[in-house]
Amino acid sequence: MTGSVNDPVLEVKGLSTSFFTDDGEVKAVRDVSFDLAAGETLGIVGESGCGKSVTALSILGLVARPGRVVAGEILFKGRDLLSIDREELRQIRGRDIAMIFQDPLSSLNPVHRIGAQIEEAMRAHDKIASREVRPRGLDLLRQVHVPDAARRVRDYPHQFSGGMRQRVMIAMGLSNRPEILIADEPTTALDVTVQAQILQLLRDLNRDLGTSIILITHNLGVVAGLCKRVIVMYAGEIVEEGSTEQIFDAPQHPYTWALLRSLPRVDADRHERLRSIEGLPPDLIAPPPGCKFNPRCPFRLERCFREDPELEPVGDGHVAACWVTMKRAHAEMGAGSLVDTGPGAASGVRPPIAPEAPDPSGADGQDVESETQDRG
Amino acid sequence: MTRGTLIYIAQRLAIIVLTLLVVSFVVFVVVHALPGNAFISQRVHGRSLQLLLHEYGLDQPVLIQYWNFLKGAIHGDLGVSLYIRGEQVTPLVLRELSVSCELGGAALIVTIGVGMTFGVLAAIRQNTWVDYLLTSLAVVGYTVPSFVIAGLGIMIFANFLGSVTGGAIAYSPVWTGTYGTIGELWLPALSIGLYTSGQITRITRASMLEVIQQDYIRTARAKGLREWVVTLRHALRNALVPVISILGTTVVGILVGVLVIENIFGIPGLGKEFVESILQHDYNVTVGVFTIFALLIGLSNLAVDLIYTVVDPRIRY
């Protein structure tokens, strides 16, 4: 599907993860499939709550109750992480697949020394000989550019700054020389200059050690700086996948297109306003029928309300799940010069009137509902 | 230990000394104001009473008596018993203190051991039958008073099962003081400890449930640590902070328990002396017992505050 020459180290097939709450089943991730090749850098982007973090947590079996992986396969070198026993999964966590998290203060244990927290990651596995654990811990801190590492291994997390804590997290993640590093919003809690340093660090690791990286972020700029390939998620599903160039230069899903338009640009006109995407992501307990993006899409067609689009090839190694695609939107709906990006603005398509509300006077939903109740 | 910590300890010790002064003064004045005189239970009257009062300096104004008491107390001399005349109070209360400490220590071990084990198990098995069973036991523990548990225990183990236990816990009216064996201590220690361990169970469970939601627990799992390492080294260590904060009041609860339980089992410790010395108008012993109790509470609270800094490195004095 993606034109990668290497054998994938990780294959996610049809992954679905749900949270079983009192209000109903929240389908956080639905039928997500992707591959990760050895040494590849893959970005997963989307708004908050689109399921990107849950996808990452599902890979390592770290989804907390009431969440549960309900379907799919996660093949790491051919072994399905969802069906192996707990002890086997434990051995893979941190040793073969490591993960670093968004908020490095809350992700480090406040009552243990930095050095001890890095060392225990190595001691939990037998990959690093026990006499090498201590010197390697120190080496790792130097590798991630923590100044005065020899003294600072004895410090506690609260004595570190935000950027330094994230370096500690990365050092911890790398301690067992994992094949895959999953970075969940690694730069979100940091200021911009520190962000750049952390990204450089990840880039070096990928280049020097050949570690595959899955970078999860809502920040498209971060993805552009690090990843070769990008997956765009919306409402728990993959809506588009392609190389970074394809996604940034010729996005085919209206959501990706809108996401890119909402980025602030230095080369934009001074008076140009930032364009946000109107509306909110759908309720994942009862998502809308058809395409999940239809309530917010300026290019929607009647078909988008009835049928859920599948991922279809739109270029070499580039897939998108859309009945319209931006190629057509540009050609037929003048997407390039669109000012009003409200729902249905470009196509003029309005939501179909629900069959149980046959009121032709155009009264709004609430009135229809109360009338229905009156009749009942 | 940093210089700041040492200064903090010095300050706290100074406060403890002040507290002891206040406690001893108040108790001194109050016991001397009790109706009757020191020898009322010994049926001494007339001339011999006057001689006795003079001999022990009890005919002087209370403030003068307190001043004389203080002069001795500074040198560790708490005076003499007025009931067992001539018996030195300091060695008496120290001997009783060692008995009470042994009982209280055993109760503390029960409290922490049972309380934290139950709390951790209930938390990691939240909303299962394990959780329901252990939290129910905790509720029973801290709603049933220690003297009820003690009474039931004596009834069951000494009376009904007397042939099995060989009377090992059928205490003679005045215990001979061969304290020190678990066989003799376990029932009194359990009677006190079950009450306080119920509280510790609840706090530990609540605290654990909060901690296991934290991001660093997810990090610990992501590192591939074994589940028991995650639970003990990462979760429990953090969950201890609120548990330790109530340990100070728990120690007071145990001391109160010691007071009641010693009188039920006839264990010759501070708690039993506390009641007897008041009934016998043995002023000096009462003041001594009170002062030792105040010292114990002060020191254990200081210990709790110092344990804080060990458990949570973010806390510094």
Mean pLDDT of A167-196: 85
Alpha helix segments (H runs only) across A183-324: 192-209, 220-226, 244-249, 254-261, 302-306
pLDDT of amino acid A2: 42
Please give the mean pLDDT across all residues of chain B: 85
pLDDT of amino acid A295: 84
Contact B237 A112 (CB under 8 A): yes
Mean pLDDT of A213-221: 88
Confidence of residue B279 (pLDDT cuts 50, 70, 90): confident
Looking at the predicted structure, is the pLDDT value of residue A356 above 70? no
From A57, A106, A158, residue closest to B214, measured CB to CB: A106
β partners of residue A8: A37
Contact B229 A124 (CB under 8 A): yes
Share of chain A above pLDDT 90, in %: 20
Contact B233 A106 (CB under 8 A): no
Confidence of residue B168 (pLDDT cuts 50, 70, 90): low
Is A2 or B282 the better-scoring residue by pLDDT?
B282
Q: Which two tokens stand for residue B42?
A: 């010994």
- Domain ranges (residues) in chain B: 89-311
A125 interfaces chain B, CB cutoff of 8 Å: yes
Task: Find, in chain B, the residue whose alpha carbon is nearest to that of A157.
Answer: B314
pTM comes to 0.79
What is the residue whose two structure tokens read 């809108």? A258
Q: Which residues of A touch B229 (CB under 8 A)?
A: 120, 124
Looking at the predicted structure, is the pLDDT value of residue A6 above 70? no
Q: How close, in Å, is residue A93 to chain B by CA atoms?
A: 5
From B218, B222, B238, residue closest to A110, measured CB to CB: B238
Contact A156 B314 (CB under 8 A): yes
Confidence of residue A358 (pLDDT cuts 50, 70, 90): very low
Q: Which residues of A touch B311 (CB under 8 A)?
A: 111
Query: Distance between CA A25 and CA A27 in Å, rounded?
Result: 6
The 10s digit of each residue's pLDDT in A67-116 is 889 989 999 988 888 888 888 899 999 899 999 988 878 899 999 999 99
From A60, A111, A156, residue closest to B238, measured CB to CB: A111
pLDDT of amino acid A269: 64
Confidence of residue A364 (pLDDT cuts 50, 70, 90): very low
Mean pLDDT of A286-313: 84
From A60, A120, A158, residue closest to B222, measured CB to CB: A60
Contact B216 A110 (CB under 8 A): yes
- DSSP 8-state secondary structure symbol assigned to residue A278: P
Look at A335-349, B157-171, B263-277 and tell me which has the smallest mean pLDDT. Answer: B157-171
Mean pLDDT of B168-197: 67
Is A347 or A236 the better-scoring residue by pLDDT?
A236
Strand locations in chain A (E)? 8-21, 24-37, 41-45, 67-76, 79-80, 97-100, 180-184, 212-217, 229-234, 237-243, 312-315, 318-320
Q: Which residues of A touch B214 (CB under 8 A)?
A: 106
Whether the CA torsion A201, A55, A229, A45 is positive or negative: it is negative
Contact A91 B224 (CB under 8 A): yes
Contact A109 B234 (CB under 8 A): yes
Which of B223, B234, B236 should one mutate to test binding to chain A, selecting the residue with the greatest count of A CBs within 10 A? B223
From A94, A95, A109, residue closest to B216, measured CB to CB: A109
Contact A93 B223 (CB under 8 A): yes
Confidence of residue A362 (pLDDT cuts 50, 70, 90): very low
Choose the CATH number for B89-311 among 1.10.3720.10, 4.10.95.10, 1.20.1250.20, 3.40.50.300.
1.10.3720.10
A120 interfaces chain B, CB cutoff of 8 Å: yes
A121 interfaces chain B, CB cutoff of 8 Å: yes
The 10s digit of each residue's pLDDT in A242-285 is 999 888 888 888 888 888 887 776 666 666 666 777 777 888 88
Query: Distance between CA A143 and CA A174 in Å, rounded?
Result: 10
Q: How close, in Å, is residue A1 to chain B by CA atoms?
A: 30
Whether the CA torsion B307, B312, B316, B317 is positive or negative: it is negative
Q: Which residues of B touch A93 (CB under 8 A)?
A: 221-224
Between the alpha carbon of residue A137 and those of residues A112, A175, A210, A244, B37, the distances in Å are: 15, 7, 20, 34, 74
From A57, A64, A120, residue closest to B223, measured CB to CB: A120
Which of A109, A126, A154, A188 should one mutate to test binding to chain B, selecting the residue with the greatest count of B CBs within 10 A? A109
Share of chain B above pLDDT 90, in %: 31
Confidence of residue A120 (pLDDT cuts 50, 70, 90): very high
Sheet containing A318-320: which strands, arranged edge to edge? A97-100, A180-184, A212-217, A41-45, A229-234, A237-243, A318-320, A312-315
One-letter identity of residue B95: R
Mean pLDDT of B14-23: 94
pLDDT of amino acid A180: 92
pLDDT of amino acid A341: 72
Looking at the predicted structure, is the pLDDT value of residue B10 above 90? yes
From B224, B238, B314, residue closest to A124, measured CB to CB: B224
Confidence of residue B206 (pLDDT cuts 50, 70, 90): very high
Q: Which two tokens stand for residue B208?
A: 């654990």
Confidence of residue A208 (pLDDT cuts 50, 70, 90): confident
Looking at the predicted structure, is the pLDDT value of residue B23 above 60? yes
pLDDT of amino acid B151: 85
Q: How close, in Å, is residue A6 to chain B by CA atoms?
A: 27
pLDDT of amino acid A15: 92
Query: Distance between CA A138 and CA A117 in Å, rounded?
Result: 12
Q: Decide: B106 and B261 in contact? Cβ < 8 Å.
A: no
| Nearest Cα residue to A112 out of A152, A149, A154 | A154
Looking at the predicted structure, is the pLDDT value of residue A3 above 50? no
> 3-state DSSP call for residue A76?
strand
From A64, A93, A111, residue closest to B224, measured CB to CB: A93
A109 interfaces chain B, CB cutoff of 8 Å: yes
Task: Find, in chain B, the residue whose alpha carbon is nearest to that of A171.
Answer: B223
Contact B219 A101 (CB under 8 A): yes
Look at A208-222, A329-343, B130-144 and tell me which has the smallest mean pLDDT. Answer: A329-343
Q: How close, in Å, is residue B202 to chain A by CA atoms?
A: 22
Q: Are strands A180-184 and A97-100 parallel, antiparallel or unpaired?
A: parallel
Please give the mean pLDDT across all residues of chain A: 82
Contact A103 B215 (CB under 8 A): yes
Q: Which residues of B touch A158 (CB under 8 A)?
A: 313-314
Looking at the predicted structure, is the pLDDT value of residue A27 above 70? yes
